[in-house]
Every structure is written in C-alpha cells, then in structure tokens.
Chain A
Amino acid sequence: MAKIVVEHLKYRYPLTDELALKDISFTIEPGEFIGIIGENNAGKSTLCQALVGIIPNFYKGAYGGKVFIDDLEVAKHSISEVCRKVGIVFQNPFNQVTGSKLTVYEEIAFGLENMGLSRTEMMERIDYSLKLLDIYQYKDRNPFDLSGGQMQRMAIASIIAMRPEVIILDEPTSQLDPQGSEEVFRAVQSLSQEGISILMVEHKMEKIAAYSDRVMLLKDGKMVAFDTPQKVFSLENLEQYGVNAPAFTRICKKLGIKNQKNGCYPVTLEEAEGAINLLKNGGIADE
C-alpha cells in the first residue's frame, strides 16, 4: 500500500494568470479513505489530476513543489508509469470509454494490454474486477449500450483491474441519476473494504461523512482544513467555504447536540442517534 506525500504543490494552467493550486502540502497514510470537498473551482479536480501526473504532464502550464507516491515523484514520470500506482475515475462515464473496444470485457482489458500482462493474468484480473463491481453479467455487451451507472462501474473496474495502490474518484456520481449514483456508491464501499487507499471528491456530504477517515476542505486553490469529518463539518464558518454540512450535522448544530466524546457535532445518522440517546439518558452511555 502506498503513502502519498505532497509538498508545497503549486500549479497554474496554461493561458491563465492565477494559480489553481496554491502551496498545498499534506500526507496520506496507506489505506485511508479521504473525502475532498469545497465549492466549484476550489481546485479539487486539479489536485486529483496532479496526483496522477495529468498535471503537469498532460496540460503543461507552470508547476512547483513535489508529489510522491511512495518514492515515485509524479511530475518526473510519464502518466503511463504513474497510473500503475494511482488510478483515477472521472465524472463523465461516457468520455472514459476508450471507444475502440466492442465488449465490456475487452474494454477492461485495454489498460492491461498496455501494461503488457499475460493473457491468463488479464482474464483473472478482468473477472475479479467485473465481479467486484457487480457487472459480470454485462461482460459481452457493447460498452456504449450500458446505462450511466453501469458505465461508471465499468470505468472503475477498468482502473481496479490495473491494481493501483491508490484510487481517486473525481465526482464519480455527479452525472448519474439517483439509481446510478447508488450503484456507484455501493461499489465504492466494496472498494474501501479491499484495503485500497481512496480519495473521493463528492458533493453529497452524507456520503463523504459516512465513508471518510479524514476530510480535506479546499478553497481558492488552498487547503483550509484536513481533519476528521466531525471536526471539519463542525467548523463554524463552513458556509463561507461553499460547503453545506450533512443534514444530521446541521440539525444537531441547530439543536446544540454535540458528540460528548470528541466535542464535535455528529456527522452521520448513527452518530446523531447515539448523541441524542446519550442526552436522553442524562449523559450516561447506553452500552
């Protein structure tokens, strides 16, 4: 499992004047689930792409600082080398289909063929990732004949089959209908049980709160906070950063109910329930 170290990362897109990332530094431990939040144009997608080397190697522009995945310095290696360690899934499932393969099965093989894997290894990995993402029954379909949710799960399966140590999900459900989103979130949950490090950008704060070990809050290309979901969502000035806390947190804030163990507002239904029960019992824990 890989450790991610980012040191003083700065980046400016070509033809622009303002930095999109302004001196960001952090460390992510192997196996962590990180939620990335912030308003539009806060730099979330830019940061994600910098971890895979799309920034700076695809876009060019101006770059400073360092990103390490274990001891691999991202900017100094081609994307095709970095992608063996870090996989990324984007918003639009349609544009992630290679468009050169006729079946879902072959589509997933695309990355593996480029990696030069043997045929048996490929088939083993494809079967595994199709089953993990619960799309094995569609393996002989044309990729473009899938629904949005199925297509996005195929995109995740294509990345998983490459066995990266870190997977980045950049708003994987923003272009899906509610049913498609739910399918993808279920898939994300099964991924996190595999012990792989996950970074997810997402606007559905309930999901971020439920899955994340830590939450990173970005604003105008700067990192404002990077802490447990409870601490980040309990920030007094959260609205200023263009973020709405999960519904449970907002209700508890209004009612002044805090989780007495850590002094923060609850972020999930279970936690809120626990805190309320605690109040009802006059401050004595149930257990």
Chain B
Amino acid sequence: MKKNSMWSLKLNTASLVLIPAAVGINYIGKLFAGALKLPLWLDSIGTILAACLAGPIVGALCGAINNIIYGFTLDPVSFIYALSQVGIGIVAGVLAYKGKMKGLVGSIITGLIIACVATVVSTPINIAMYGGQTGNIWGDALFTWCTANQFPTWLASGLDELVVDIPDKVAVTLIAFGIYKALPKKLTILYKNDQAIESLD
C-alpha cells in the first residue's frame, strides 16, 4: 500500500457515486432527528461513513457538497457552514484510515475527536454570523448563562457548540460504524483506491 494513497485526488467512479448516496443519508438522518424530535442533529452520518469507506478526500467533498445542497434547499447560510462539514469529513477519513475506528470504544473516541474539530471550525463562524449562538436550545441556554457570567464570547460560543456536538457526533459515528460493519466486504473494497489486478497468465 502506498503511503500517501489516502490523499490521492484521483477518485474512482465508485467513490464518486458514493458521495450523492452519502449526502442523501445525511439528509435522511436530519429528517428523522426532526421527525422523531430527537435532541440531536444526526446530519453527518453519510459524511462520516463516506470518509471511512473512501478516505478523507471523499469525506471532505461529501461535507462540502452536503452543505452546498442545503444552501440551495433549506437555508443559504449553510453554504458557510460547509467548512465544518469538510473538517468532519477529513478527520473521520484520517482516523478511519489509521485504523482508529475499530470497535465501540474506538468509534466513541473518534466521535469525540470529530466533535472537537467540528467545534473548533464552527465556533468562529458562529461568532461571525450570529454573535456566537448555534440555534440549538440547550447550547444557547448555556451560552446565555456564560455570557451573563462574563465569560469571553469565544469560550461561551465554543461551549455552546461543544455541548451539542459531543452527543451528536458520538451518536453519528456509532451509527456510521454500525452501517460500515453491516456492508458486504465485496462492496466496500470497490471504494478503495489501492487495489491492483493480479495476473493469472
């Protein structure tokens, strides 16, 4: 296996076709979190799954395209949040490639790391766009408390994001891991870029 094959920009057709499916999965997760009134977003299952299956580049593309599409269909502000989805895709891809996403514990730790990265990327955007709020009731309640107690904005905003991201990203990573396990190996191998043809002559 070549050392830098994880970052190869030459994507095979299977990985490219994976992207729309993954974005669809994100969308369905989001729809269901809403329909079942879950206190989570669940809108990055597909991004994380695609990153595990086809690496960080596909993960990043998935995240970016996901939010571009949301921008066109739900809320134009999503365009700007594409950055955090890209971050999520890259981190998930790298961690999966390094073999950190094995088993339940590995997935939970991966979820925690993803949550931290998402927070680091999203917080500046939250501050620039909304003065630091996220729009999630629980997070914004914490934000209000922090602001009232003279916390600096970056900390209040960071906590606001983190408190929602931790349960969300851990849940999402676990779901993605579950799906990954259930997929036939014959399928998942098609997304890998490092396969070679063996000669029988």
- A binding-site residues for B, Cβ under 8 Å: 10-15, 56-65, 75, 99
Question: Which residues in A have their C-beta under 8 angstroms from that of B200?
Answer: 10-12, 62-65
Q: Which of the 9-residue segments B28-36, B169-177, B191-199 touches chain A?
A: B191-199
- B186 on the A face (CB < 8 A): yes
Q: CB distance A15 to B198 under 8 Å?
A: no
Give A160 Cβ to nearest chain B Cβ, in Å: 22
In the bound complex, CA of A15 to CA of B14 (Å): 18
- B binding-site residues for A, Cβ under 8 Å: 13-14, 20, 185-186, 189-190, 195-201
Q: CB distance B186 to A63 under 8 Å?
A: no
Q: CB distance A63 to B197 under 8 Å?
A: yes
Question: Which residues in A have their C-beta under 8 angstroms from that of B185?
Answer: 15
Q: List 7 A-B contacts (CB under 8 A).
A: A14-B195, A56-B197, A60-B195, A62-B198, A63-B197, A64-B199, A65-B201
How many residue pairs bridge A and B at CB < 8 Å? Answer: 37
Give B182 Cβ to nearest chain A Cβ, in Å: 17
Give A200 Cβ to nearest chain B Cβ, in Å: 26
Give A128 Cβ to nearest chain B Cβ, in Å: 28
Q: CB distance B190 to A59 under 8 Å?
A: yes
Give A276 Cβ to nearest chain B Cβ, in Å: 50
Q: CB distance A14 to B186 under 8 Å?
A: yes
Q: CB distance A60 to B186 under 8 Å?
A: no
Q: CB distance B197 to A13 under 8 Å?
A: no
The closest CB in chain B to the CB of A64 belongs to B200
Give A64 Cβ to nearest chain B Cβ, in Å: 3
Give me 4 other A-B pairs in contact (C-beta within 8 A), A14-B186, A62-B198, A62-B200 excluded: A12-B198, A63-B198, A63-B199, A63-B200
Q: List 8 A-B pairs, minimum CB-CB distance, nearest first.
A: A64-B200, A62-B198, A60-B195, A64-B201, A56-B197, A10-B200, A62-B200, A60-B197
The closest CB in chain A to the CB of B196 belongs to A60
Question: Which residues in A have their C-beta under 8 angstroms from that of B199?
Answer: 62-64
Question: Which residues in A have their C-beta under 8 angstroms from that of B13?
Answer: 58
Known contacts A15-B186, A59-B190: A99-B201 contact under CB 8 Å: no
Please pick, from A10, A11, A14, A63, the residue contacting B189 in the complex, using a CB distance under 8 A.
Answer: A14
Question: Which residues in A have their C-beta under 8 angstroms from that of B198?
Answer: 12, 61-63
Question: Which residues in A have their C-beta under 8 angstroms from that of B196?
Answer: 60
Question: Which residues in B have their C-beta under 8 angstroms from that of A11?
Answer: 200
Question: Which residues in A have their C-beta under 8 angstroms from that of B20?
Answer: 99
Please pick, from A10, A62, A65, A99, the residue contacting B197 in the complex, using a CB distance under 8 A.
Answer: A62
Question: Which residues in B have their C-beta under 8 angstroms from that of A64?
Answer: 199-201
Question: Which residues in B have their C-beta under 8 angstroms from that of A65?
Answer: 200-201
In the bound complex, CA of A59 to CA of B197 (Å): 9
The closest CB in chain B to the CB of A16 belongs to B186
The closest CB in chain A to the CB of B13 belongs to A58
In the bound complex, CA of A10 to CA of B13 (Å): 25
The closest CB in chain B to the CB of A13 belongs to B186
Question: Which residues in B have their C-beta under 8 angstroms from that of A13?
Answer: 186
In the bound complex, CA of A60 to CA of B197 (Å): 5
Give A11 Cβ to nearest chain B Cβ, in Å: 8
Q: CB distance B186 to A61 under 8 Å?
A: no
Give A138 Cβ to nearest chain B Cβ, in Å: 24
Question: Which residues in B have their C-beta under 8 angstroms from that of A63?
Answer: 197-200
In the bound complex, CA of A10 to CA of B201 (Å): 9
Question: Which residues in B have their C-beta under 8 angstroms from that of A57?
Answer: 197
In the bound complex, CA of A59 to CA of B190 (Å): 7
Question: Which residues in A have their C-beta under 8 angstroms from that of B186?
Answer: 13-15
Give B116 Cβ to nearest chain A Cβ, in Å: 36
